[in-house]
Amino acid sequence: MLAIGLLMKEHRLIERMIKLIDKEVQEMKGGKPPDGDFIDTAVDFIKMYADRCHHGKEEDILFRDLGKKNLSPEHKSTMEQLIKGHIWGRETVRKLVDARSRYVQGDQKARDEIIGQLEKLVKFYPPHIEKEDKHFFLPCMDYFTGEEKEAMLKECYDFDQKLIHEKYKAVVEKYEEGG
């Protein structure tokens, strides 16, 4: 198993969630009121799984180690685009959360913004994932020795292991600080 094998497996679950979000978006466009529980679930999935857990391992382990290598100009530029995509995704989720709270407070106009931000995320993930799966991860493995690949995989497991603790510590702290 390689670290990129783990990351590709995570891509498959992200794709499944994106499909569900797309379905919800189409229904909302057809007039269905926003389903607050679904939006919260989608936000939590994107924030915690797609961003913290998945992009976290890409940035803090794979991209960090690739950054120490003498990358071809093409790979260097792809990696920069991928990182920019992650930053853009975080900003989009922030706007989505903001629109969701305005909607809950009675701002009816926020409904269109919720749809718009969700739709942007639905459009962002498939090409981002395809670029990584088909044009980046595999060729990039050639920069690493067997030992380096093993160390990356181990670090990925350690990273995942800490996440659930990090998540629920943050939940408790949020409410200790008054929500």
* Interacting residue ranges for Fe ion, rule: CB under 5 A: 58, 82, 132
Which one, 53 or 115, has the nearer CB to Fe ion?
53
Half-sphere exposure for 164 (CA within 13 Å, toward CB): 2
CA of residue 151 relative to chain centroid, distance: 23
Q: What is the DSSP letter of 34?
A: P
Say which residue the tokens 């009675």 belong to: 106
Would you put residue 178 in left (φ > 0), alpha (ψ -120 to 50) or beta? left
- Closest distance between Fe ion and the C-beta of residue 125, in Å? 9
Which one, 24 or 58, has the nearer CB to Fe ion?
58
CA of residue 15 relative to chain centroid, distance: 11
- Closest distance between Fe ion and the C-beta of residue 140, in Å? 12
- Closest distance between Fe ion and the C-beta of residue 59, in Å? 8
Which one, 62 or 110, has the nearer CB to Fe ion?
62
Burial label for 21, CB within 10 Å (0-12, 13-18, 19+), is: buried
If you count them, how many residues does the chain have? 179
Which one, 111 or 126, has the nearer CB to Fe ion?
126
- Tell me the two tokens of residue 155: 């670090």
Work out the angle between the directed axes of helices 110-135 and 36-44 (0-180°, nearest 10): 30
Which one, 35 or 130, has the nearer CB to Fe ion?
130
- Closest distance between Fe ion and the C-beta of residue 58, in Å? 5
- Closest distance between Fe ion and the C-beta of residue 127, in Å? 11
